[in-house]
Structures are given as C-alpha cells and as structure tokens.
Structure 1
C-alpha cells in the first residue's frame, strides 16, 4: 500500500470570478487511485463564500483525477461543490449544469500576465518599457527577461505529466504577457483541464514570488494589449459536413445571441473589446476570414475550396472567463441552428 497525497481542488463562490481552492488529504491505495476510489470530502463553505457560518458544511465530489508531478505520490483531484447531502449541486457549481457533447471540440488560448510588486514582470518601477512589437513570440533577455521562460517551461512539464492536453506556449504581445493552449474533446474535459492548468500555474509561481494576473485589461486604457481566452470550437457536423448556408445561419445565431455570449465571456470585457488591439467592439458582432479584429475569426482552412468546414475561433472570451460557461453558451447557440443536432447524434 502507498500513501498518496490527494489535492482536492474546487472553485469557490466568489463572483464574478471564482477562485481556485485546494486542500490535501492522505489516503492509502494499492495503485494510483481512480475516481471510484476517492471519497466525498467536506469543507468550510463559510470561508469560501459558499455557505453561512451557522450552516457551513459543503461537500467536494471528485470528478477528474490527474497525476501531480510536483509531489511524491501526488494526485490532483478536481471536484464539484455539492450541498451537504453530497448529491445536490451547490448553486456555485457551474460544471454540473453545462451542456456537454464529446463531438464538440474546444481549444482554449489562455493569455495572462506575470505580475510582481504590483506591475507586469519586466516593467520598470515607474512608467512603461519599450512599446509593443518585439515581445510577441520574442526571445532574449530584453524581450522576455530571466524568469518567465523558466516558469512556462516548468508549467508545461507539470501539465504534460498530469496528462493534460497542453498544446503550446508563447510569449504574447505585451511585456510580461504569455499564453498557453489547452485542447479537449467535450466541453467538460476541455474546461476541466483548463482549470487544472490554471491551478498548476498559480501554485508553481508561489515559489518565484510572482502572481498570475488574469484580468482582461490590467493596464487599463493604455496602448497595451489586454488578455483573452480565445475559444476555438467545432462539432462533428462542422468538421465533417459544414457548408456555406449552415455557416451563415450559425453566424446569424451568434449575432442574435451576442448579449448572452458577452454575459458569460468574462467580466470587464468592455475594457478589452474596444475595437482596438485586435478586438471587435463589445456592442458589435462580425466575422472575417483571418481577421483578428472580428468577433469570430474564420481560418483560411475553413473556407478552402468553398467547403466552409472545420473549426472557428471566437475571439471575445477573456482571460478571466469560466471555460465551463463559455463552452456551454457556444453549444447552446449551435443547437439553435438547423441540422446542428446531427453533430450530437453522430458523436
């Protein structure tokens, strides 16, 4: 028998952006534990904005398990928050109610800033560094500094060791800004892995005395890019059938539901979606082939040979967004379009 360190991880009840929480339990198992091996576990919801002190019990229900390479015999246990009966989802538990479809594939591009001493990593104590230009996919000390690349490489290693489908990293447009990409088949799987990747990044940077700033426009109304979490998506029907008529109907549905999308695409998006810095204005909807200033960017591969088949990129979700709600809203809109239901049937 081996003693495993089980890190139960969940989202708290803070709004508009939940925080990641975690606590460790030690259990003995003959082999690496599966979901069926892991018990429910209680916690004090009054300390996480999920209960009152006079009735503070909440329950953690394991829903996904990953190896934790940072700890000896470590296990990352992603959990949903349940009411004291252990059966009823807590009102803050968004994962329990989202739409899911294994035939729907999502790729999230998580942008963020490294922050130290109240400013982006690499910024001078006063003022700003040299303007944007050389930082995106940059290399060299003057562009990325002495620490950032080491952190993102360590984070990549941790994600790969956990079995997370981490697809890449790059320095972003602003100084101190980076991105990583997570892909998953099914909205729950993709969102689960994004939340665990965020957790691993935030835990890793503790040792460097660096914070992760997810705010979509931390530098305010300045000539510096904000941070997004662009959502690349497709369904079985979009990948295998598609067609221009279907695509145009889908874009009409996205335009009609624009306000519903913005509502769950992350707080303070009005600060980021201004029509500048590769964004469309928050009160407008547009699509365009290879257009990084559109609401939805259509890849050249999608329109190749007039097929209108493949994946699309919604550029409006921001870096603070909840991937559960983002993916679910996208699927709700797709479900409104005739023939979209065939995607689920074929999955």
Structure 2
C-alpha cells in the first residue's frame, strides 16, 4: 500500500470570479487511485462564501483525478461543491448544470500576465518598457526576461504529466504577458482541463514570488493589450456537414444572443472589448475571415472547406469561467436547426 497525497481542489463562492481552493488529505491505495475510489470530503463553507457560520458544512465531490509530479505520490482531485447531503449541487456549482455534448469540441487560448511587486514582470519601477511589438512570440532576455520561460516550460511539463490536453505556449503581445492553450471534447471536459491548468500555474508561481494576473485589462485604458481567452469551437455537424447557409444562420443566432454571451464571458469585458487592440466593440457583433478585430474569426480553412470545421469566438476574456462560456456557446449552437430549410430558432 502507498500513501498518496490527494489535493482536493474546488471553486469557491466569490463573484464575479471564483477562486481556486485546495486542501490535502492522505489515503492509502494499492496503485494510483481511480475516481471511484475517492471519498466525498467536507469543508468549512463559511470561509469560502459558500455557507454561513451557523450551518457551515459543504461537501466536495471528486469529478476528476490527475497525477501531480510536483509531489511524491501526488494527485490533484478536481471537485464539485455539494450541499451537506452530498447529492444536491451547491448554488455556486456551475459545472453540475451546464449544457454538455461530447461532440462539441472546445479549444481555449488562456492569456494572462505575470505580476511581481504590483506590475507586470519586466516592467520598470516607474513608467513603461518599450512599446508593444517585439514581445509576441519573443525570444531573448530583453523581450521575455529571465524566469517567465522557466515557469511556462515547467507548467507545460506538469500539465502534460497530468494527462491534460495542453496544446502549446507562447509569449504574448504585451511585456510580461503569456498564453497557453487547452483543448477538450465536451463542455465539462474542456473546462475541467482549463481549471486544472490554471491551478497548476497558480501553485507553481508561488516559489518564484510571482502572481498570475487574470484580469482582462490590468493596465487599464492604456495602449497595452488586455488578456482574452479566445474560444475555438465546433460540433459534429459543423465539422462533418456545415455549409454556408447553416453558417449564416449560426452567425445570426450568435448576434441575437450577444448579450447572453457577454454576460458570461468574464467581468470588466467593456474595458477590453473597446474596438481597439484586435477586438470588436462589446456593443456590436461581427464576423469575418481571418479578422482578429471581429467578434468571431472565421479561419481561411473553414471557408475553403465548404464552411466546415471550427470557429473562434474572440470575446471571452481571461477571467471567464470556461464552464459557462462553453455552455453558452453550445446553447446558441443548439438553437440553430440543422435542416437546410429551417430558420434560426427563436
């Protein structure tokens, strides 16, 4: 028997952006534990804005377990928060109620800033570094500094060892800004992987005395890019059938549901979606082939392939909850009939 360090992690009750929480318990197993072997575990919800002190019990229900190579015999256990009966989802538990479909594929492009001493990593104590230009996919100390690449490479290794569908990394447009990409099949699977990847990154940076700034526009109204979490999406029908008529109906449905999407695409998005810095205004909806200033970018490959494949929604921001983002996209897609003569559902 081996004693495993099980780090149960969950999302707390803070709004509009929940925080990741985690605590460790030790359990003995013959081999790396399966999900079915992991017990429910309670926690003090009054300390996480998920209960009141006079009735503080909440329950963690494991939904995914992955290896953690940073700890000897380590595992990270992603959990849903349940009420004390262990069966009823807690109101803060968005995962339990989202729309899901294994045929719907999602690829999230998570942008973020490294922050140290109250400013982006690499920024001088006063003022700003040289303007944007050389930092995107940059190489060399003057562009990316001396620890950022070490962190993102270590994060990549941790995620791959955990079995996550981590698909790549790159330095981003602003100094101190980076991106990683996560892919998953199904709303829950894709969002689970993103939250796990976020957790691993947050914990990794502790030893570097660096914070992750997830805010979508941490530098405010300046000529520096904000951070998005562009969502690439497709369904079985989009990949296998598609067609221009269906695509146009789909875009009409996205335009009609613009406010529903913006409502779950992350707080303070008005600061980022200004119509500048490769974004469409938060008050408008547009789409275009290879147009990074549109709400939805249509890849050249999609248009060349008889309007089949995937699309990229550029509006979700870096703080957005991937559970709600994927679910809303799938909800809008599901409103569009796939028959050739059908109209967009009301």
TM over 0.5, shorter chain: yes
Instruction: Name the CA distance, whole Å, in 2 between partners of 1:113 and 1:167.
Output: 19
SS of residue matched to 2:62 = strand
RMSD of equivalent CA atoms = 0.6
Instruction: Name the CA distance, whole Å, in 2 between partners of 1:40 and 1:9.
Output: 12
Partner of 1:320: 319
> Equivalent residues in 2 for 1:141-156 (5 A)?
141-156=141-156
Instruction: Name the CA distance, whole Å, in 2 between partners of 1:278 and 1:310.
Output: 23
Partner of 2:184: 184
Instruction: Name the CA distance, whole Å, in 1 between partners of 2:215 and 2:209.
Output: 19
> Equivalent residues in 2 for 1:76-225 (5 A)?
76-225=76-225
Instruction: Name the CA distance, whole Å, in 2 between partners of 1:258 and 1:234.
Output: 18
Instruction: Name the CA distance, whole Å, in 1 between partners of 2:93 and 2:338.
Output: 31
Instruction: Name the CA distance, whole Å, in 2 between partners of 1:220 and 1:213.
Output: 13
Partner of 1:311: 310
Instruction: Name the CA distance, whole Å, in 1 between partners of 2:25 and 2:330.
Output: 36
Which ranges in structure 1 are unaligned for 5 or more consecutive residues?
A: 341-347
Partner of 2:234: 234
Partner of 1:338: 337
Which ranges in structure 2 are unaligned for 5 or more consecutive residues?
A: 340-346
Report runs of 4+ in structure 1 exceeding 4 Å deviation.
none
Partner of 2:344: none
Cα deviation for residue 63 of structure 1 reads 0.2
Instruction: Name the CA distance, whole Å, in 2 between partners of 1:336 and 1:199.
Output: 33
Cα deviation for residue 114 of structure 1 reads 0.0
Cα deviation for residue 128 of structure 1 reads 0.3
Cα deviation for residue 339 of structure 1 reads 1.4
Query: TM-score scaled by structure 1?
Result: 0.97
Instruction: Name the CA distance, whole Å, in 2 between partners of 1:63 and 1:338.
Output: 32
Partner of 1:343: none
Cα deviation for residue 91 of structure 1 reads 0.1
Cα deviation for residue 226 of structure 1 reads 0.1
Residue deviations 1:108-142, cap 9 Å, x none?
00000000000000000010000000000000000
Partner of 2:265: 265
Instruction: Name the CA distance, whole Å, in 1 between partners of 2:290 and 2:277.
Output: 15
Instruction: Name the CA distance, whole Å, in 1 between partners of 2:232 and 2:157.
Output: 23
Instruction: Name the CA distance, whole Å, in 1 between partners of 2:68 and 2:189.
Output: 18
Instruction: Name the CA distance, whole Å, in 2 between partners of 1:273 and 1:303.
Output: 25
Residue deviations 1:133-162, cap 9 Å, x none?
000000000000000000000000000000
Instruction: Name the CA distance, whole Å, in 2 between partners of 1:32 and 1:3.
Output: 10
SS of residue matched to 2:24 = strand
Aligned length: 339
SS of residue matched to 1:153 = helix
> Equivalent residues in 2 for 1:238-317 (5 A)?
238-305=238-305, 307-317=306-316
Residue deviations 1:44-90, cap 9 Å, x none?
00000000000000000000010000000001100000000000000
Instruction: Name the CA distance, whole Å, in 2 between partners of 1:335 and 1:157.
Output: 36
Instruction: Name the CA distance, whole Å, in 2 between partners of 1:252 and 1:339.
Output: 14
Residue deviations 1:19-41, cap 9 Å, x none?
00000000000011011100000
Cα deviation for residue 250 of structure 1 reads 0.2
Cα deviation for residue 254 of structure 1 reads 0.1
Instruction: Name the CA distance, whole Å, in 2 between partners of 1:88 and 1:73.
Output: 31
Kindly indicate whether residue 59 of structure 2 is the aligned counterpart of residue 39 of structure 1: no
Query: TM-score scaled by structure 2?
Result: 0.98
